[in-house]
Each structure stands twice: as structure tokens, then as C-alpha cells.
Structure 1
Amino acid sequence: MLDSANNPLTLARFELKRFRGFLPRIALVFILLIPLLYGCIYLAGNWDPYGRLDQVPVAVVNHDEPTTVNDKRVAAGEDFVASLHREATFKFLDTDDADAAAGLQEGRYYLVITVPKDFSTDLVSGQGDDPQRAKIMLQRNDANGFVIGTITNSAQTSIAKAIDETAVRSYFEAVFANLATIREGMDAAADGAGKLDAGLATAHEGSTQLRAGAGKAADGADALASGASRLNAGAITARDGANQLASGLDQLHAGAGTLASGSAQVAGGTQQVADTVDPVLTVAAEKLPGAEQRVKAASERINTVAGKLATGSGSISAQTKAAVADADALIAAHPELAGDPAMQRLRNALDRTNTTAGAIDADVKAAASDVSAANTAIQGAGDLAAKARDAKAKVDQLNSGAHQVSSGAAQLRDGLGTAAPSAHTLATGLGTLADGASQLNSGATELAAGNRQLAGGSATLDDGLAQLATGAHELSTRLADGAAKLPHLTDDETDRAVQVLSAPVDVTMEVENPAHVYGRGLAPMFFSIALWVLGISAFFLVRPITGRVIAGRANDVRIAITAWLPLAGISVIAGWLMLAAAWIGLGLDPVHPWLMIGMVTLVSLAFSSVAHLLRTSLGLVATAAMLIVLILQLSSSGGTYPPELLPPFFSTIGHVMPMTYTIDAFRITISGGLMTKLARDAILMVVLLVSCLALLVLVVHRRRQFTEKDLHPPFG
């Protein structure tokens, strides 16, 4: 009988038999349900609070006034509100300012979102010169609950994202709307540049011709100056000959007078007439033919010069007028040359040359007329020389023709009187011709200098136009290439491009060992707390150890184990009930179900051993100690916040708190994780269990050493 009484299992059954009757059994059931009530019911209330955010009322007040950009209506406020209703993160309710303010104060709304009237205008202001940041006002009232305030505060990120997408969408809609206009403008610019290229190419050809013509004009002006110089020299020579002719005619006229006055004596003596007339006739015969030839040559030469310089399209005046017309045409074709100093000097020089050329034309024509008259006159003198030769030949006939000689002498005198003034006129005209030729030489020299300046300017113009033509061709090519690179999108392609560019990145997160809902993340902490609280509350009904067991003859180990087994059994069963309720009722569905069952069993045994050790050694004070340790564990075990976020004291003591490792173990068995960490946590729980039971044996051993006081109770 004593042996059976000393059997630990028998003693444990005896302890449990105390729970006879309805109330004791109800109390035992309550103890078994404590982990379920604490862990599962509280966990159920917090299982998925974020899953019902769409039931949280949030007021939306839209004051936005749509605007127009590039003839397109932009209603960003309407788009933003539509996106809120589409995403339905909260229960968004459209209302006005008064209702929103009253609802926030009364608790009907937990958040108020206000869109200002200039929202659309500010969003598209980035396309102008004064960009503005668009604003959205959020209001909350923490008097309605701080936690709900922090939850609604998270809406700021999603709202900002929706605003950014709306803003970027509006911007890119405007950008793509402008692409067609930009492309058309670039096409038109490319066409214009092509026409400019063609025009400059034509202008370059003209400037090349001008450059060559200016060079030829300069050469022609040099030749004109050289010819004018020769004309001047010839005119001077002709003038000198004309002066000699006039002097000879004067002498001939005097001799003719003498001949006329002495004709009366001719009849008196043929020998005397022959002696007197022969020298005169000899001089006339010798001088007049030479003068005739010189005057004739001068007439031909001056007529040739006049034909070249003073008449027709080849005249100096015609050429200078043509040069003036060409310069005016060049300035008209290139207005930018009108202000060029070199062109102005060239134009003035051409005007002066044109004026001088007109004067030269007139002088040359007059000289040609005078020389022609002199030639006519001198040809008459040639006839007279022929008569003189005949007279000399017919000296023997003087006697018979004395009267005829007298008459001929009178005619000779009269003819020579007419020829002498003409010779003087010829000399004067040739002098004028020499002066005109000198002026022509000076003007032609200035014309040559101006033409050389024109040639230099036209060369510069030609080079510049060549560079402009090259640049215009490159501009046309680049504009055409740029226009070709601008996309030509259909309306559907534009919409797709706007959608992609307004939200160019899809941010995804890959979660390892996901907890899925809020409750799965809290379950490890709630399970640990529930099993720890069971160790505190169980001793309201269960005795840690009885005097009968202590007085038994079993060894200390068997007595300690016998005293702990009832609490251990209650803890394991209560833990299984808690796990079953969470699994079946809440859908906990651990990733490692058998490991979860094993860890709940191990933690129940370990925590019950801690509770039994403290209650056996400290008595009623153990309840307070268990509560203090529970509070420390709640603050340091990392059930809600990671250790890195805790104050240094709590993060330090967390390393020695049992719940730190039970929470970690439950997380791994529920959601997955490193098996090495789970093994570590299980080993630590085994160490805790064995250590507490070993200490319990020591406590039992000490309590079995009775003193006299123990044998005489106060009320014995």
C-alpha cells in the first residue's frame, strides 16, 4: 500500500481526483481553457485588422477646377478621386467641407482628404515658366483613436503615389499631344531649310559668276586705262602735227598772196616767175602730201578710237552704265550688301566713272568731227599740190597762161585762207582730245582699282555663301533626321505610352516565409504569453506539492517529478486546445504542423516547470515574480518590435528571456524559417526544462528536512 502510494503516477492521479463535483471540474476546465481564451480570443480580435480597411470611412472633398492644356481638358482632381474609389483602400465618401469637418469631429470620418481648386493648374504648371507643386490636404483627429490615426496616416504614401501618377500622366499627355506639333514644325523647318539650301546654292553660283566677272572687269578696266594712255599720247602727237600743218598753211597762204600779187609780173619774165614760183611750188609739192597723209592717218585713228570708245554698246559710257546696273542688281539680290563699306565705295566709284565716261564720249565725238573736217580740208590741199606740180611741169606754158595762173593764184590764196583756220581748229581739238584721253586714263585707273575691290569683295561673298550653303544643307539634313526620330503614335499607342511613363516601374516585394495576415505574425507572442499566464493562474486550483508527497519515502527526484506532472499535463492539454482552436477556428495552418505541435508541447512543459519551481520555492510570492518576469518579457522578447528598436536595457535582457526563443520557434513552425534556429530554440527549451526540474529536486530535498517548527504547526 505504501509502495503504491509512493508511485508518482498514483500520486498524480490522486491529486487530480480532488477535482470531483461540478464546480471543481468547471474550474479545471477553465484552467485548461485559459491559454485558449487568452491566446485565441485575443488573437482572433487582432487576426486581420487591415483586411477591413475598406470599412474605415474617409471623407473626400474635391474643389479642383479643370484646366486646359494644348486644347485638351485636364481634370486631375476628378482623376485622383476616381483612382481613390477604384483602389478602395478605405471607404471613400464624397462630401463637402462642412460635412467633412463635422464628421471628423463627431468620429464619423477618420480622415478627410481635400483637393484644392488649383490642383489641376498646379499639376500642369511644369510645362510653363512658373512650375508649382500641387497640394493635397489630409486631416485627422486623434481623439477618434491614435491607432486608427497611424493606420490612416499610411494612406499618405498611396495618396502621394496616386497624385504622382496623375501628375505624370497629365504631363505626358501634354507632351505626346505636342509631339505631333513639334514633328510638323520640324518637317516644315526641314522643308524651309531645304529651300534655303537650294537658294543659297543658286546664290553661290551667282557669286561665283560675279567673282569671275569682277576679275574680268578689273582686267578690262586695266586695258581701258592702258588704251586711254595710248590715246592720250596719240592725241598729243596729232595735236603737234596739226600745229605744224597750221603753221605751214599760214606760210603757204602768205606765198599764195605773193603769187597772186606778182602774177602781173609773170608775163614780164618767165625766168623770173620760174625763179620765184619754183621754190614755192617745190615746198608745196613736198609738204602738202606729208601733211595730207598725217591728217588722214589722224582722222582714221581718231575715228577708230571714237568708234570703240564713244559709240554703240562698246562705248565707255555704255560699259560703265552696265557696271552700275550690275552693281544695283547685286545689291537688290543681296540687301545685306547695301550697308557694306566696300560695296558703297564701289558704287560711288562706278557713278564717278559713269559721269567721266559720258564726258569722254562727248569729247571723243567732238574730236572725231573736228579731225574729219580737217581731213576734208587737207585733201583739198593735196589737189593744190598736184596743181603745183602741174604748174611746175608747165612752166614753159606760163606765158600763155599768165592770166590763168593769176586766177589760180587767187584761188590758192583763198583756199589756203580757209584751210589755215581749219588746221588751227584741228590742233585745238586734238589738244582737247589729249586732255580727255588723260581724264579717261585717270578714270579708267580708278575704275580698275574699284573693280579690284569688287573682285576681292565678291571673293569674300562667294566664300561666305559657300559656307552658308554648307550650313543650310547640314541644317536641312539634321532637321529631317530629327523629325524622323520623333515617334508617330496612334491614339491607342499614345495611351499605352502615357500609362507606362506615368508609372514606369512596378515595384514588387518577394516575402520569404510570409505571415499573410496580421494575426499569424502576432500568434507566436500570444501563444507564449498564454502558456506563461497558465503557469500563473493554474495554481489557483492546483497545489504545487502536498505534504503527503513530501513525507513519502520516495527519493527527491520522484517526488519532484510527481509534484510537477499534474501541472505539466494540464499545460500540455491546454496548449493543444489553444493550438487546435487557432488552427481550426482562425485558419492558422502552420507550415510545419508536427513541429508546431511538438514546440507547443515542449514550451508547455518548460513554462510549467518554471512556474512549479517558483511556486514551490517562493510560495505565493511566485505569482508576483511570474508577473514581473512576464512584463519584462513583453518588453524585451521582440514579439512586436525587433530588438534593434528596443531601448538598450530591454534589448540586452531579451537574450536571457525564455519568450524570446519561444516566439522565434513559433514563428518558424507557423510561417517557416531556418531549421537551425528552430533547433537552437528547442534545445534551449529542453535546457530550461531540465534545469528547472533539477532545481525543483533541490527545493524538494530542502523541504523534506523537517524542523521542530514544521512538526508543531501553530494550530496543531
Structure 2
Amino acid sequence: MPSPSNPLALARYELKRFRGPLPRLALVFILLIPLLYGCIYLAGNWDPYGRLDNVPVAVVNHDVPTTVNDEEVHAGQDFVDSLHRTGTFDFIDTDSDDAQQGLEEGRYYLVISVPESFSTDLVSGQGDDPTRAQIMLQRNDANGFVIGTITNSAQTSIAKAIDETAVSSYFEAVFANLAKIREGLVDASDGAAQLDAGLKDAHEGSKQLRSGAADARAGADKLATGAEKLATGAANAADGSGQLVDGLGQLDDGAARLADGSRQVADGTQQLADTLDPVLTVAAERLPEAQQRLTAAADATADLTAIAADGTGTVATTSASISSEVDALLAAHPELADDPAFTRIQTHTTNLAEATGTIADRAGTIAGAVADADEAIRNTGDLSTKATEAKTKIDALNDGAQQVASGAADLSEGTGDALSGATTLDKGLGELSSGAAELSTGAGTLATGLHTLSDGTVTLDDGIAQLSEGATQLSAGLADGVKQIPVLTEDQEAEAVHVLSAPVDVSMEVDNPAHVYGRGLAPMFFSIALWVLGISAFFIVRPITGRMLAARGSDLRIGVTAWAPLGFISVVAGWLMLAAAWIGLGLDPVHPWLIILLVTVVALAFSAVAHLMRTWLGFVATAAMLVLLIIQLTSAGGTYPPELLPPFFSAISHFVPMSYSIDAFRIAISGGLMSKFTRDLSLLLILFVSCMALLVLVVNRKRRFGVKDLHPPL
């Protein structure tokens, strides 16, 4: 037993108490508490998300593929394939019954169901009735709430996979149509080029049409003027033909009278011949009586000659008038020269004039003969000779009279035909006049229409010119558009679909990465383990003994000596914990020497807090340390930053030791701002010094014994 006057000896004695198997086992247990709490618990949580591929998840695919633009879309199977490629969970393809039963029995922690309309809904955005595709997720919290929340976090990645599948299906359809679109644009470009060429030809034609329309316009004006003159001339011709019909009617009447007179003359000359022949035969025998009869015959012949001359003159005058009118009508209307009816009239009037002239000549001859006969009879000399001559002349007169009668009959028939032709001509000229009037009206309408046509051809020519220019621009634009559409190989198309379905590769640059879940939790678990050590160590370590309090020496020396065994145990236990995490779990801190220093400082500081609390409060300190542990677990920011904590815990987070130990462990393990590490380490050292100072005060108080110190604490 060391002397009470030697505190250091008392401290060594306190450690040497653990000589028996059970005390040593208890000491080993105390040393292993940080390792058990920190490393084992940390090992269990080291990388839970790294083993998600062991979590069984049922996948039920009811999707029915659909067809878009002659391409089959099987988005449901594509989605399932993408799940298997990612391998986030242990995806198991199954049916609805097995999935539901497995979820109830705990064989599956999540069920992903793809409905029948998945493919149809995904591509519905290309139609008139877009519908959002649905994916059903089902979990059972009876299988564990934490695993439920972990599988629930897969909703984001599943939604991303669905989006990529949808966009991939869309772009597959787009690129499937891209070649068709390009072919269509090529055809459209060729068609535009042909249209351009055709419009240029049309422009040339429109120029010719414009010129021709102008010529037609001028011709129509001339036609309208000529048609107006034709209508006027046709009206005049109709009037002239009416006059011609009237004249031919008079001629027909005169010819009829001439025929009658000629026939009377013929009959008279026949009678004269019949009378004179016997007379002249017996003239010699009966001269006186013959002389009287000859005188009477001469008188009759003179009368007949006067009648014939009068009829012949009338016919000649009428036929001459008619012939003049026909000639005047032809001169006024040369176009009648080709009319058959007018030609017949002209022929008849010519023949009539000739026949009239012949009759007039013969009538003159007869008149002369009659005059000679009359003179001969009246101046009868040698009657026998004269009678013979008279007989000859009377026979000639009879022949001429018969010819005149025959010509007069022909003349009457010709004038009838001429009258009929003139009537037909008058009717035709009436119709010609009406047609010419209609022609004049139509020619005016035609001229107006051709004026409009001419104006329209000008507009058409200008429009075709603009259209041709637009077709040229269209052809050039389509050609440029064709150049803008790439010709992709199958590999290039697949790569383009892959890129466009996920056009943005979101990457995150993490400063001072923790890499795995356990490295992120280690700062909190190390802090908790060293704090818990301060609670559990007093099951075998005494905070301070009565001998120490009664020993000689300063309060500082006694306080440090009383704390030294716990501090030593804490440091050794902390190093064991760090070594196990470093070697066994692969902690591999960024700053090895700093973390060794930090573990030492935290062990010293937390052991000082624990020793102060136990020396000051006794057994009540265990409860106080547990309460402080719970408060720090909530407010120190080991799992959630202070900004996410309730106001009370967020406010006290800056006053609890673990806030700074956790922050310092993070920097030592994963890296960070060294100024913060220095601050944290400094505050922990201040905590240590402060606790040791308070411990000295408590020791000073404990060295003053009173009556109450003689009573047990409980």
C-alpha cells in the first residue's frame, strides 16, 4: 500500500489493482468499449448502400408493345432491361401473384409494376391525346421501415430510367423517320427545282400570252369596228335587196306584159302572113282589092309595130334599171359577189338585159319592115314585084315576131326566177343584217373581255415572275435543309439516341469525399464511443479515493493523479478503436497523424469531462452523462446539419463538445479546411484544460470533510 503522501504512487497502485483474472478481464472490456461501440457498430453501417444489389425487388411487366410509324415500341421491356443494367437492387422478373405474395412474406422489399398501356402512353406525346405513363411501386413497412425508406429512395432513379426510356423511344421514332424526312425533303427539293424550271417556262409563256393578249386586244378592237361597219352595210344591203325585190316585181310585170304583147304581135304577124300570102298570090288578079287590104294591113302593122315598140321600150328601160341597181348593190357590198343567190340574180339580169336588147333590135327591124311595107304598099308601083317582095318581108316579119314572142316568154320566166332569187337574197340579207348586228354586239363583248384578259395576263405574268422567284428560293432552301439533315449509320443513330435520351450527364465534384457511408458516420461513432467510455469506465475505475484526498500535495497534483488512470485508458482505447477501423474497415484517413493526435485529444477531453462529472456528482454523474450524450446525439450534427434541426437543438449545437469532435474527425478522415480543424482542436484542448481546472476545484472541495461525507450517497 503506497503512502498517502505520494499521489503518483497511488495512481500506479490504482492501475496495479487489476492483477487478478476478473479485474484484468474487466479492464480489457473497458478498453474494448470504444472498439465494440465505434468499430462494430460502424462496421454494420459502413456501406449499406453498397450492398443494395442484395435487396430483392420484384419486377412485373404487363406492358403491351405498340407500333409508331411502322416501328414497334416496347418501352416496358426496355425499362426492365435498363433496371437490370443499372443493378441498383436485385431485380427479379416475376408475375403479379408471386410479387404480391413475396411482398407479404418478406421475400421482396419492393414491387415495381409496369401496366399494359406503358408503351402506348409513353409515345402518346406524338399524338393528339398525350397521356403520362405510369409505374406502380409497392412496399410493405411490416418488412422494416428503414429498408422501406431505402427502397423508396429508388423512386428518383426509377423515374430517371423511365424518362430515359421514354426519350429513347421517342428519339428512336424520330431517327427512324429522319431518313424518311430527308428523302421527302430531297423529293421536295427536286420537285421545287422542277417547279422552278416549269415556272420559268411558264413565265416565258406568260410573256408570250401577255403579248398575244395585247395583239388580240388590238384585233378585237378592229373586229368590233369592222363588225359595226358590217352591221351597217348589212342593214343597207337589206334595204337595197328590198328595193331590188320591188324592181324585179315591176320587171316581172313588164316582162309579162311584153310577153303578152309579143304574143299578140306574133299572132298578128301570123294572121298578116296568113292574110297576105293568099292576097299576094292573087294580087295580080285582084290588085285593087288587094291594094285596099294592103293599106289596111299596113295600118294594122303600124299599130302592132307601135305596140311592140312601146312594150320593148318599157322592158328595156326596166331591165336597164334593174341591172344598174344590181351593179350598185354589188359595188356597195363586194362580199355579195360570192353569194349564190346574188350570182343567180346577176346572171338573170344580165340575160334579161341581153334578151331585151335583142327583142328591141328585132322590134326595130320589124318596125322598119312594117314601115317599108307600108310605104311600099302606099307607093305601089309594080304590084306583082312588090307583092312578091312584100310576101318575103311579111314572112320574115312573121318569123321575127315569133322569135320576139319566144324571147318575151323566156324573159318573163327569167324575171320570175330573178324575182324568186331576189326574194331569197332579201331574206338572206335580212338574216345577214341580224347576224351582223349580233356579231357587232359579240365583237364588242369580245373586245371588252380581251381587254380584261390583257390586263389579267399582265397580272398573271407579274405573279408568275414572283412565283418563279419564290420557287427558286424554295428550291435553294430545301436543298440547304437537306444538307442540314445528317445521314447517320446505325451505330451513329444508336449513339445519337443514347446521347439525346440523356442529353445532360450530371456530374458532381465532391470536395473531401467520404466515399462510403461508414466514413461519413465514423466521426460521430468515434465521438460517441469515447464519450461512452467515460461513462462505462467507472464500473471498474474509481474516480478518486479517500487516500488520495487525504494525501499530501497540491490540489492540482491530486486531481491530475486521480484522472490519470482514466485518461490513460481512454487514450489506449481510442488508439485501439482507430487501429481497428483503419486496418479492419479500411478507414484510410487523409491526415493520418492528425487523426492520431485528434483521437488522443478527444480521449483526454472526454475523459476529463467524465472524471469531473463523476468526482463532482458521484453516481448521479452516470445519468447526467447519458443525458448529455442524448442531447449531443440530437444536436451535434452527426447525421443532420444544424440547419435541419428543430430550433432548440440547432441553438445549442454550438455549445456541445461533440459538435467540434465530429467536425474535426471529418477533416482528419476526409479532408477539409485546416483552420476549422485547428479551431476544433483548440476548443477541445480548452475543454480539457477547463475540466481539469474545475476538477482541481472539486478536489479542493472534496478534501474538506464534513458530516455529510460520512453518509453513503444513496
TM-score class, shorter: 0.7 to 0.9
Are 1:536 and 1:626, in contact at CA under 8 Å, matched by a contact in 2? yes
Q: Choose from 444, 448, 463 the match for 2:439.
A: 444
Quick one: which amino acid aligns to residue 601 of structure 2?
Answer: L
Q: Choose from 343, 365, 373 the match for 2:348.
A: 373
Deviations 1:161-214 (CA, angstroms, capped at 9, x unpaired): 333333333333333333344444555566667777777888884993885686
Show the counterpart of 2:685: 686
Q: Choose from 213, 227, 234 the match for 2:230.
A: 227
Quick one: which amino acid aligns to residue 48 of structure 1?
Answer: D
Q: 1:141 to 1:280 in 2, by over 3 A?
A: closer
Show the counterpart of 1:62: 61
Distance in structure 1 (CA, Å) of the matches to 2:439 and 2:677: 116
Are 1:298 and 1:371, in contact at CA under 8 Å, matched by a contact in 2? no
Show the counterpart of 2:20: 21
Q: 1:165 to 1:197 in 2, by over 3 A?
A: same
Show the counterpart of 2:282: none
Are 2:114 and 2:136, in contact at CA under 8 Å, matched by a contact in 1? yes
Distance in structure 2 (CA, Å) of the matches to 1:109 and 1:164: 25
Within-5 A mapping of 1:398-409: 404=397
Are 1:43 and 1:523, in contact at CA under 8 Å, matched by a contact in 2? yes
Quick one: which amino acid aligns to residue 474 of structure 1?
Answer: A
Quick one: which amino acid aligns to residue 569 of structure 2?
Answer: I
**How much has 1:699 moved relative to structure 2?**
2.1
What SS does structure 1 have at the residue aligned with 2:18? coil
Within-5 A mapping of 1:321-360: none
Distance in structure 1 (CA, Å) of the matches to 2:261 and 2:115: 133
What SS does structure 1 have at the residue aligned with 2:505? coil
Show the counterpart of 2:617: 618
**How much has 1:294 moved relative to structure 2?**
3.6
Greater CA deviation, 223-232 or 207-216?
A: 207-216
Q: 1:709 to 1:198 in 2, by over 3 A?
A: closer
Q: Choose from 231, 236, 240 the match for 1:237.
A: 240
Q: 1:23 to 1:652 in 2, by over 3 A?
A: same
Within-5 A mapping of 1:448-527: 448-452=443-447, 454-455=449-450, 474=471, 477=475, 485-527=484-526
Show the counterpart of 2:426: 431
Show the counterpart of 1:340: none
Within-5 A mapping of 1:25-44: 25-44=24-43
Show the counterpart of 2:293: none
Greater CA deviation, 274-283 or 38-47?
A: 274-283
Greater CA deviation, 517-526 or 118-127?
A: 118-127
Quick one: which amino acid aligns to residue 471 of structure 2?
Answer: E
Calculate the TM-score normalised by the size of structure 1.
Answer: 0.78
Distance in structure 2 (CA, Å) of the matches to 1:62 and 1:652: 51
Is 1:554–2:520 an aligned residue pair?
Answer: no
Q: 1:609 to 1:464 in 2, by over 3 A?
A: same
Distance in structure 2 (CA, Å) of the matches to 1:194 and 1:709: 115
Distance in structure 2 (CA, Å) of the matches to 1:389 and 1:297: 30
Greater CA deviation, 97-106 or 188-197?
A: 188-197
Q: Structure 2: give runs of 5+ residues left out of the alignment.
A: 273-295, 377-392
Show the counterpart of 1:656: 655
- Which of these two proteins has the greater Rg computed from alpha carbons? 2
**How much has 1:640 moved relative to structure 2?**
0.8
Distance in structure 2 (CA, Å) of the matches to 1:629 and 1:431: 142
Distance in structure 2 (CA, Å) of the matches to 1:75 and 1:284: 116
Show the counterpart of 1:208: 209
Distance in structure 1 (CA, Å) of the matches to 2:367 and 2:553: 202
Distance in structure 1 (CA, Å) of the matches to 2:599 and 2:136: 49
Show the counterpart of 2:99: 100
Distance in structure 2 (CA, Å) of the matches to 1:376 and 1:271: 29
Greater CA deviation, 256-265 or 535-544?
A: 256-265
RMSD between aligned alpha carbons? 4.3
Distance in structure 1 (CA, Å) of the matches to 2:631 and 2:89: 37
Distance in structure 2 (CA, Å) of the matches to 1:231 and 1:631: 131
**How much has 1:136 moved relative to structure 2?**
3.1
Are 2:11 and 2:564, in contact at CA under 8 Å, matched by a contact in 1? yes
Quick one: which amino acid aligns to residue 503 of structure 1?
Answer: A
Q: 1:166 to 1:144 in 2, by over 3 A?
A: same
Distance in structure 2 (CA, Å) of the matches to 1:690 and 1:482: 80
Distance in structure 2 (CA, Å) of the matches to 1:183 and 1:155: 41
Deviations 1:289-331 (CA, angstroms, capped at 9, x unpaired): 5643442453577673363xxxxxxxxxxxxxxxxxxxxxxxx
Show the counterpart of 2:574: 575
Calculate the TM-score normalised by the size of structure 2.
Answer: 0.78
Show the counterpart of 2:277: none
Q: Structure 1: give runs of 5+ residues left out of the alignment.
A: 308-363
Quick one: which amino acid aligns to residue 497 of structure 1?
Answer: A
Greater CA deviation, 445-454 or 637-646?
A: 445-454
Distance in structure 1 (CA, Å) of the matches to 2:449 and 2:443: 10
Distance in structure 2 (CA, Å) of the matches to 1:176 and 1:499: 12
Quick one: which amino acid aligns to residue 304 of structure 1?
Answer: E
Are 1:281 and 1:392, in contact at CA under 8 Å, matched by a contact in 2? no
Are 2:228 and 2:440, in contact at CA under 8 Å, matched by a contact in 1? yes
What SS does structure 2 have at the residue aligned with 1:549? helix
Deviations 1:24-45 (CA, angstroms, capped at 9, x unpaired): 3333332222212211111111
Are 2:76 and 2:119, in contact at CA under 8 Å, matched by a contact in 1? yes
Distance in structure 2 (CA, Å) of the matches to 1:12 and 1:608: 16
Q: 1:218 to 1:479 in 2, by over 3 A?
A: farther
Q: 1:231 to 1:569 in 2, by over 3 A?
A: same
